[in-house]
Chain A
């Protein structure tokens, strides 16, 4: 590596030199970065590191997941709820390739994660050795940065750089691949934290003229609307954001990953945008005069057809990543920078407004959505249980303080629509990649990072079975997560599309399921199954009041659909209510 002259370090953090092995150095680097928990799976090429983990087990807690994919999702859950870097460890070959789904998920959802993989000894590189795979090559398109280390002396700098890059600027996953000989080799260890990389500007310098231009547009707006994303919570800008929203009196909607930055119950929180978002913010996106996007990236699931998206509005984009500006939606004013700093600069320039007539429009459309959709979801008159009433019960019993870790599909959309998020970093879900199987292992990481919080994993019967083996991790580690499976015996979202767009040809979406309660009990996890409405309240109460992990299966109506819905390629204002 030639980076020596290109990174900045903080010598104040450095220790005196000591002669240790590369593998021990890895542990010492992790400790220096404040890592207390890591998730992983041992194997041949990473064994020297596991040997050191054994020696350091009182200082660093290694969680043996049941699959390397589970390790990445747990590290993601840990990072998403805490804002700290999640760490995953795996061996070479299949161990390393099994990390890829989680890495890709972390990349598209900007989750700080460091993955460390063992690699065959450097003299074997390129020889098709046992469990050799080019993980640096494979992971390149889905990592923020990656590198391979073949000498012990390169380890401290590589790991320091990895943590710095993973957590700074727009966060993301980083992979460091370390050959087995580098793990064994002894060298004079010294750790200096990385504080800069010369080719990398994590946070663009805030241009105050752009903030002034944004304030001018907002102050002049008659019908302003905010859409915020995860950038608000990633930038720890919740307080500044709330102040801006309240001072300017702007109706504010969130993307799936933005949820919770201001509470669901906040009067200016007008709900979720996007394909299964709320009716009012979607429709009025095409009615507002100024659209203020904050820390979001105009994903296609948010915008629907771009050619008809907010064409009437001036667009202001607050964003940390310059590559996002004009990527999907052309902006009139781009404010590049960290959300906290930008919003702090914006606040004093804003005039106090209330926009009562404009707010009324949102209320009117909400009333329509309530009549057509929400009422039937939350207070069904038909026999079958709806997914939404399960969420309603969870809201009541957790008072909206729980962290909801959802999987991917219908239940995810329902969870995001109906869960109350009183606190920031409470909606942990796979947004960009849509990774089925994310939920259960992510909930493990979330609960371990925030043991004081109620963490509820909500999955469908499909995604749950993609990482069901992590029940073993929950059992072994005694992680008190609450696991809810909303079972409709279908891959529900795909089935919904088959019903609406493929003339009800339900190709391979019907699930013949095992006895989920028996499986949970097989892992010695308390479990219950609910099939009737009158059993629901007590079952949720039992789950919440159980100290350890708990599994609750709720059999819901088989062919329920999630509405509203923007069909692919349609405009946000053509959102369907039925």
Chain B
């Protein structure tokens, strides 16, 4: 209960200005770092879904879920272990174009990692890759030796293996 684990947090909310501040403040106040955060539309119309990744004990996690749900504009919050979700991250590499032709290995790396070339021009080309964190870490390690002009990675997005029981709750509240 007291050891730190990696948890994925899903939060269903209204789409209102300032809610990011309100939710991140709950973690900040307890001196907990947010590893990643993503906000998007959800499966329900007019409901926003947040996916966050945090590292903490389950006891703290439970209490924080309570504090998140207490916020007026939060509809429901859940936390999941790694086994309970299917998750993906996405990343992009911008690399000098001449390397694509001079370093044959790069083409192999792209193929083997199931990455995708988004664009190529005379100066640079861009690779995109979606996958689990370790896969992206591996690709990053493999490409860094050739020199990367720019690299960026998204927050985690995730769906759960089990049903999220929020639709019925929303239906009851709708007028």
- Which of B18, B174, B175 lies in contact with A140, CB distance below 8 A? B18
Q: Contacts A6-B46, A323-B67, A323-B70; is A147 near B173 (CB within 8 Å)?
A: no
List the B residue with the shortest CB-CB distance to A148: B17
| A453 CB–B CB distance under 8 Å | no
Is the CB of A141 closer than 8 A to any CB of chain B?
yes
B75 CB to nearest chain A CB (Å): 4
Instruction: Decide yes or no: A147 and B66 within 8 Å by CB, A196-B173, A197-B72 being known contacts.
Output: no
Cα–Cα, bound, A141→B72 (Å): 13
Q: Given known contacts A8-B175, A199-B74, is B18 in contact with A323 (CB within 8 Å)?
A: no
* Identity of the chain B residue whose Cβ is nearest the Cβ of A145 in the assembled complex: B72
Report the Cα distance A16→B158, complex, angstroms: 48
Complex contact A136–B14 (CB within 8 A): no
Asked whether any CB of chain B lies closer than 8 Å to the CB of A428, the reply is no
Contact yes or no, B72 A2, CB < 8 A: no
- Taking CB atoms, residues of chain A closer than 8 Å to B14 are 2-3, 6, 198-199
Min CB–CB distance A142 → chain B (angstroms): 10
Q: What 1/0 flags go to A137-170 for Cβ under 8 Å of B?
A: 1001100111110000000000000000100000
Q: Are B73 and A141 in contact (CB under 8 A)?
A: no
Contact call B73/A199, Cβ cutoff below 8 A:
yes
> A residues within 8 A CB of B18?
136-137, 140, 146-148
Nearest CB on B from A166, distance (A): 11
Asked if residues B170 and A323 are in contact (CB atoms below 8 Å), the reply is no
Whether, in the assembled complex, B58 has its beta carbon less than 8 Å from a beta carbon of chain A, the answer is: no
How far is A198 from B44 in the complex, measured between Cα atoms in Å? 14
Inter-subunit contact A327/B63 (CB<8 Å) = yes
A140 to B46, CA, bound (A): 23
Question: With A6-B46, A199-B14 known to touch, is A140 a contact of B22 (CB < 8 Å)?
Answer: yes
Q: Size band of the B side of the interface?
A: 20 to 34
Interface residue B69 (Cβ < 8 Å from any Cβ of A): yes
Given A8-B175, A323-B67, also A140-B21 (CB < 8 A): yes
| B115 to A: closest C-beta gap in Å | 37
A 173-184 to B, binary, CB cutoff 8 A, 1 in contact else 0: 000000000000
**Chain B residues with CB below 8 A from A5, complex form:** 46
Q: Is the interface of A mostly helix, strand, loop or mixed?
A: mixed
Q: Which residues of B contact A321 (CB under 8 A)?
A: 70
Evaluate whether A199 and B22 lie within 8 angstroms (CB atoms) in the complex, with A321-B70, A327-B63 already known: no
User: For chains A and B in complex, what number of residue pairs have CB atoms within 8 angstroms?
Assistant: 64
Residue interface bits B110-136, CB-to-A below 8 A is 1, else 0:
000000000000000000000000000
Report whether B69 and A323 are in contact in the complex, using a CB–CB cutoff of 8 Å.
yes
Which chain A residues border B175 with CB–CB below 8 Å?
8, 196
Which residues in chain B, 59-87, are within 8 Å of chain A measured between CB atoms? 62-63, 66-67, 69-70, 72-75
What residues on B are CB-neighbors of A501 within 8 Å? none
Taking a contact as CB atoms under 8 Å apart, the answer to whether A141 and B29 are in contact is: yes
Measured in the bound complex, the distance between the Cα atoms of B28 and A141 in whole Å is 10
Query: Which A residues are CB-close (under 8 A) to B69?
Result: 322-323
Q: In the complex the two chains form, what is the Cα distance from A472 to B4 in whole Å?
A: 55
B98: min CB distance to chain A, Å? 43
Name B46's closest neighbour in chain A (CB-CB): A5
Question: Known: A1-B16, A2-B15. Contact between A198 and B170, CB under 8 A?
Answer: yes
Interface hits, A284-308 → B, CB 8 Å: none
> Are B22 and A323 in touch, CB under 8 angstroms?
no
Does B25 sit within 8 A of A, measured CB to CB? yes
> In the docked arrangement, what's the CA distance between A198 and B174, Å?
7
> How many Å lie between the Cα of A497 and that of B21 in the bound state?
37
Within 8 Å by CB of B63, from A1, A145, A198, A323, lies A323
CB distance from A348 to the nearest CB of B (A): 29
Other-chain residue from A141, A198, A326 in contact with B173 (beta carbon distance below 8 A): A198
Query: In the docked arrangement, what's the CA distance between A321 and B74, Å?
Result: 15
Max chain A Cβ within 10 angstroms of own Cβ: one of B22, B46, B62, B174: B22
Which of A310-345 touch B at CB < 8 Å?
Answer: 321-323, 325-327
How far is it, in angstroms, between the C-alpha of A136 and the C-alpha of B62 when the chains are bound? 27
Interface residues of B in 14-63 (CB under 8 A from A): 14-18, 21-22, 25, 29, 46, 62-63
Number of interface residues of A (CB under 8 A): 27
CB-based nearest B residue for A164:
B72
Residue from the set B15, B25, B46, B66 with the largest chain A CB neighbour count within 10 Å: B66
CA distance A106 to B65 in the complex (A): 23
Q: A8-B175, A147-B18 are in contact. Are A327 and B72 (CB under 8 A)?
A: no
Residue numbers in B under 8 Å from A1 (CB-CB): 16-17
B13 at the interface (CB under 8 A from A): yes
Which single residue of chain A is at the shortest CB-CB distance from B169? Answer: A201
Give the distance in Å from the alpha carbon of A196 to the alpha carbon of B72 in the complex. Answer: 11
Nearest CB in chain A to that of B74: its residue = A199
- Contacts A148-B17, A198-B173: A140 and B25 contacting too (C-beta < 8 A)? yes
Cross-chain contact A137 with B16 (CB below 8 angstroms): no
| Contact present for A2 and B16 (CB under 8 Å) | yes
State in angstroms the CA–CA spacing of A546 and B25 once bound together.
49
Query: How long is the Cα–Cα vector from A472 to B21 in the complex, in angstroms?
Result: 38
Q: A141 — which chain B residues lie within 8 A by C-beta?
A: 22, 25, 29
B63 surroundings in chain A (CB, below 8 A): 323, 326-327
A residues less than 8 Å from B13 (CB atoms): 199
Closest to A161 in B: B72
A184-212: CB near B (< 8 Å → 1, else 0) gives: 00000000000011111000000000000
If the complex has contacts A5-B46, A198-B173, are A147 and B16 also in contact, measured as CB distance less than 8 A?
yes
Residue of A nearest to B15 (CB): A2
Q: Given A2-B14, A148-B17, A327-B66, is A199 in contact with B46 using a C-beta cutoff of 8 Å? A: no
- Given A2-B16, A3-B16, A6-B46, CB of A199 within 8 Å of CB of B67: no
Report the minimum CB–CB distance from A298 to chain B (whole Å). Answer: 13
Cα distance A197–B25 when bound, in Å? 22
List residues of A (1-60) whose CB comes within 8 Å of B's CBs: 1-3, 5-6, 8
Chain B residue numbers with a CB within 8 Å of A327 are 63, 66
- B38 CB to closest chain A CB (Å) equals 20
Closest A residue to B68 using CB positions: A323
Identity of the chain A residue whose Cβ is nearest the Cβ of B76 in the assembled complex: A199
A sample of 9 more A-B contacts (CB under 8 A), given A136-B18, A197-B72, A323-B66, is A1-B16, A3-B16, A5-B46, A198-B75, A199-B73, A200-B72, A323-B67, A323-B70, A327-B63
Binding site for B on A (CB under 8 A): 1-3, 5-6, 8, 136-137, 140-141, 144-148, 165, 196-200, 321-323, 325-327
25 pairs from A and B in contact (CB 8 Å cutoff): A1-B16, A2-B15, A2-B46, A3-B14, A6-B46, A140-B18, A141-B29, A145-B72, A147-B18, A148-B17, A165-B72, A197-B72, A198-B75, A198-B173, A198-B174, A199-B72, A199-B73, A199-B173, A322-B69, A322-B70, A323-B63, A323-B67, A326-B62, A326-B63, A327-B63
Sorted from nearest, which 4 A-B pairs have the closest CB atoms? A323-B66, A198-B173, A199-B75, A145-B72
